[in-house]
Amino acid sequence: MQFLKSPSARNADVLVGVRWFKIAGEARLQRLSGRIIGAQVGIQNGQDRYTMALVLAHEFGHVLGLDHENGVCATMNSRLAVNHPEYCPAPPPGMWVCRLLRADDVRGAVSLYGGTVRRIRGPEFCPR
């Protein structure tokens, strides 16, 4: 799967927008015979860019076919605890979660699409 900018919303399979939601974000999927044929991804206004990045990564996980995961630390945790997925460690003050995908998210995508899981590189937290 590859994400490319569409010349118009009419031709797009996935639309991303910022709307007023009471929840952090939402992915509305249109399916045909179990296959996703279109999606709208929305996030709540008023969040900082770091939270929006986490929420978008989570909602794109749904577009890719991933479900919520509440047994381990994952971007696909069903809840966001202020500035990090619920079952993941909180970043230290002045930092944010710069690793938008966690090992469990990658394993889930690999189980759906194939490939291999490689060690995630780079720091877990970055300065804001």
Q: What is the pLDDT of residues 6-52, one digit of tens each?
A: 777 777 776 666 555 556 677 776 766 766 656 666 666 667 778 88
Q: How buried is 73 (Cβ within 10 angstroms: 0-12 exposed, 13-18 middle, 19+ buried)?
A: middle
Give whichever of 25-39, 55-69, 98-112 has the largest mean pLDDT: 98-112
Q: How many domains does the chain have?
A: 1
What percent of the chain lies above the pLDDT cut of 70? Answer: 73
pLDDT-wise least confident of 2-6, 57-61, 119-123 = 2-6
Q: For the whole model, what pTM was predicted?
A: 0.76
Residue 77 has pLDDT above 90, yes or no: yes
Range of the domain at 74: 11-127
Which DSSP string do the residues of 21-64 spell out, in sequence order? -SSSEEEEEEEETTEEEEEEEEEETT--HHHHHHHHHHHHHHHT
pLDDT at 83: 83
* Residue 66, domain member (yes or no): yes
Residue 3 has pLDDT above 90, yes or no: no
* Residue 1, domain member (yes or no): no
